[in-house]
Amino acid sequence: MELFFILLVVLIATRSLGEAAERLGQPALVGELVAGILLGTLAARYTDLFPQISGLNQSPVFQAITDLGMFFIMLFAGIELQPNRLMEHSRGAIVVAGCGMVLPMLLGIALGWVFLPAGEDFFAQALFLGVALAITAVPATVRILVDLGKLESRSGQIIVSAAVFDDVFSLILLGWLTALIGDEPAEAFAFGMLVFKVVAFFIITTVIGVFVFPLGGRIMHLFKQKEFEFSALLAAALAFSVLAELMGLHFIVGAFMAGLFFGRKTIDDFAYADVRNKTSAMTFGFLAPIFFASVGLHLDFNAIFVIPTFVLMLLLTAFLGKLIGAGMAARYIGLSRPEAAAVGVGMSARGAVELVIASIALEAGLFATGPDTPAVIEHMFSAVVIMAVVTTLITPILLKRIYSGMSP
């Protein structure tokens, strides 16, 4: 029962520190991340006392639980948001997503230009830094906005739509990047296939969401089994997740799309509220705190001591790139100054999506180390994880301040 012990410790730690965070006027997410960081630090220092916690992130079982956490967060985000309202903001969101990606990406490549040593992987490594800075973690932004009660505000909707665009583009770029590392012959063709598959994914899910979901909702009352609506939604979300992975996207995009097309009119108002309520319990009462603790657990302070300048510059560009890129774009599409600031800050959280992307690059061999590896390459993964955790930790604190200053 090691699993139950771990879940117990993580649940108590996250909910206690989450409560402490709220008492200090901060979103609960901040407390959950800190709980993860503390548990990770304690376990690294006193390995013998906490054998279950150290190495937790290597455990396939814990990984599965945190994957389910990400899945439920994205599903809940989709349920909360309405496709037609998102579409209303979609033109603005595309502008915000575009500018909010291009500037950080250019800054990232420039950072690579300055800090990375010349070598055969130089271009791919610099591009990786660009992609790492370009992303916005949808699960983290959703959670932050839910904590602040701003998910359905105009700026909230723009942040989430733009973040979804960002993640989809980043995943395409990453696919291209890994093909580049692999030295595959038909690069242009592979890239074309990738784009084609992503487009196909969105067409398939939208057609199913618009036509099949309402049909399913209408025949739902014919089924006699307990909790059939909840199962049907989960099955749809699992199917979309599997499809997303098949099409080269991350599964979170699939879970989000399934939630998005499950709306008030899919079944009826009562069933919608009931399923939403049940998904919320599983998400915020169980899996989301464990998931955010796992993000904190990944933190490894090594890079801070070895390549402090690089880490500092990475953090600066991470915040400034999104603040200026996405913030100016938000101002351009007509948002007020504080709203635009909220968008610029809100897009900064890199959360766990960054960890996913960094892990893919690591596994693809982009940061392969040897006896002569320069420090900046050796500690790149640690630096990127620090950036992911710090942006996710600071974003809700700043965002809370901005929203508090705004007239409601």
Q: Which residues bind a copy of itself (CB under 8 A)?
A: 1, 3-5, 7-8, 11-12, 15, 18-19, 22-23, 28, 60-61, 64-65, 67, 71, 146, 223-231, 234-235, 238-239, 241-242, 245, 251, 274-275, 277-278, 280-286, 289
Using alpha carbons only, give the angle 8, 75, 215 rounded to the nearest 5 degrees.
135
Q: Among residues 124 and 237, whose Cβ is nearest to a copy of itself?
A: 237
Least separation in angstroms between CB 76 and a copy of itself: 11
Least separation in angstroms between CB 266 and a copy of itself: 16
- Give the C-alpha separation, 253 to 249, whole Å: 7
Among 276, 281, 283, 278, which Cα is nearest to 260's?
276
Among 346, 292, 338, which Cα is nearest to 151's?
346
Among 385, 322, 367, 314, which Cα is nearest to 37's?
385
Least separation in angstroms between CB 16 and a copy of itself: 10
Q: Among residues 38 and 324, whose Cβ is nearest to a copy of itself?
A: 38
Structure tokens at 115: 């800090």
| Cβ count near 294 (within 10 Å) | 26
Q: Among residues 184 and 227, whose Cβ is nearest to a copy of itself?
A: 227
Q: Among residues 277 and 407, whose Cβ is nearest to a copy of itself?
A: 277
Q: Among residues 197 and 331, whose Cβ is nearest to a copy of itself?
A: 197
Q: Among residues 256 and 319, whose Cβ is nearest to a copy of itself?
A: 256
Unique residue bearing structure tokens 């705004």: 406
Among 139, 93, 363, which Cα is nearest to 251's?
139
- Give the C-alpha separation, 41 to 47, whole Å: 10
Going by C-beta distance under 8 Å and a sequence separation of 6 or more, which residues neighbour residue 89?
A: 154, 157, 158, 161
Least separation in angstroms between CB 245 and a copy of itself: 4
Least separation in angstroms between CB 68 and a copy of itself: 8
Among 268, 290, 235, which Cα is nearest to 73's?
290
Q: Among residues 5 and 211, whose Cβ is nearest to a copy of itself?
A: 5
The number of helices, as runs of H, and strands, as runs of E, in the chain is 20, 0
Under DSSP, is residue 64 helix (H, G, I), strand (E, B) or coil? helix
Among 82, 98, 90, which Cα is nearest to 158's?
90
For residue 382, with 0-12 CB atoms within 10 Å meaning exposed, 13-18 middle and 19 or more buried, which class applies? buried
Least separation in angstroms between CB 238 and a copy of itself: 4
Least separation in angstroms between CB 279 and a copy of itself: 8
Least separation in angstroms between CB 232 and a copy of itself: 8
Q: Among residues 70 and 386, whose Cβ is nearest to a copy of itself?
A: 70
Least separation in angstroms between CB 39 and a copy of itself: 15
Q: Among residues 190 and 238, whose Cβ is nearest to a copy of itself?
A: 238
User: Between the CA of residue 157 and those of 49, 154, 168, 283, 332, what are the distances in Å?
Assistant: 45, 5, 17, 20, 17
